Structure 1
Amino acid sequence: MRLLILGNSGSGKSTLAKAVAERHGLPHLDLDIIVWEPEQIAVPRSPEAVRTDLDAFIAAHPGWVIEGCYGELVEAAAPACTELVFLNPGLEACLANNRRRPWEPHKYVSAEAQDAMLDHLQRWVEGYYSRDDAWSLAAHRRVFDRHPGRKREATGTLSATDLT
């Protein structure tokens, strides 16, 4: 299984990816880990370094779960996946999930630092539906619609048992 999951922040990508990876004993790559400088908030790494790390992860593992909102990276990984999943539960679900999100120590130095970014994150999530960048609904829809392989769009909740 080489599962690629995309969607808005708060759509459930990380939760689903972790559950599938655990269920099937697969390595899991949260694209946030390679996109941003370690222990820095919203400081991007070079696109070349990010792409090198993505390609290396895909080459190093016969099976995997990759997830993120970065349309250009999802599109780059899509030819190697066996299934593309687009999580699209809607704005209210994403906002509610972000409010319930536990501390992510791999992204923030403290729970307080994460909480301090919540308002900014929620505004960014709201903009998903109107902007047209690589991290928008429009970009995700294009990646999903163009993908010639196995794919599914979920507007509700998916569980690891739904993806076997």
Structure 2
Amino acid sequence: MKKVLIFGNSGSGKSTLAKKLSKLEGLAHLDLDSLAWMENQPLTRRPLVASELEIKNFVSANEAWVIEGCYSDLLLLATPFANELIFMNLPINICIENARQRPWEPHKYPSKKAQDANLDMLIDWIEQYETRDDTFSAKAHKALYDNFAGTKTEIVINQ
């Protein structure tokens, strides 16, 4: 059974690929955005223990799945259950353009206008991917990729 983790910078195409795999291969889909943040407090992370419980419940309830997100700390909790890993390592400028073209995500924002109000902040955050030193950084993603023992693919577009 396929158990896939997809990760990378914001705007790298994680959600798009996860949705396609889910539909084509009948995989259950978990977007880590749905469990990483406190409700009604969009800039406050939930306790790691609470997110870990939801991840374990998801992998226990589904034989085949895809989990996607930019949270290396949460992805690391799912790696013991995964047999495949996909690192969406796209250039920053492509991630920014994808963010600009992103359709409304009703599971994250009450309206397209509310989503677009955060666009400048998101673009700044995307631009810092290579220089940040946090769970969302290129450094953390590369370490996750390098340390995974199963099947792994790095999607790279050279410019």
Q: How does the TM-score come out when normalised to structure 2?
A: 0.94
Paired letter, 2:60: A
Paired letter, 2:78: A
Report the equivalent of 2:138.
Answer: 137
What is the CA deviation profile of residues 64-102 of structure 1, one whole-angstrom value per residue up to 9, with x for unaligned ones? Answer: 010000001111111211210000111011000000000
Q: Separation in 2 of the partners of 1:112 and 1:140?
A: 31
Q: Separation in 1 of the partners of 2:99 and 2:41?
A: 20
SS in 2 for 1:42: strand
Paired letter, 1:58: V
- Higher mean displacement: 85-94 or 37-46: 37-46
> What does 1:9-158 correspond to in 2, within 5 Å?
9-38=10-39, 40-156=41-157
Q: Is the 8 A contact 1:84 1:150 kept in 2?
A: yes
Q: Separation in 2 of the partners of 1:25 and 1:102?
A: 23
SS in 2 for 1:43: strand
- Spell out structure 1 runs of 4+ moving beyond 6 A: none
Q: Separation in 2 of the partners of 1:25 and 1:146?
A: 28
Q: Which runs of 5+ in 1 are unaligned?
A: 157-164
The offset of 1:39, in angstroms, is 5.1
The offset of 1:131, in angstroms, is 1.1
The offset of 1:43, in angstroms, is 3.1
Q: Larger % of strand: which?
A: 2
RMSD: 1.1
Q: Separation in 1 of the partners of 2:120 and 2:16?
A: 21
Q: Separation in 2 of the partners of 1:25 and 1:114?
A: 29
The offset of 1:41, in angstroms, is 2.6
Paired letter, 1:64: W
The offset of 1:40, in angstroms, is 4.5
SS in 2 for 1:132: coil
Identity between Structure 1 and Structure 2 (%):
47
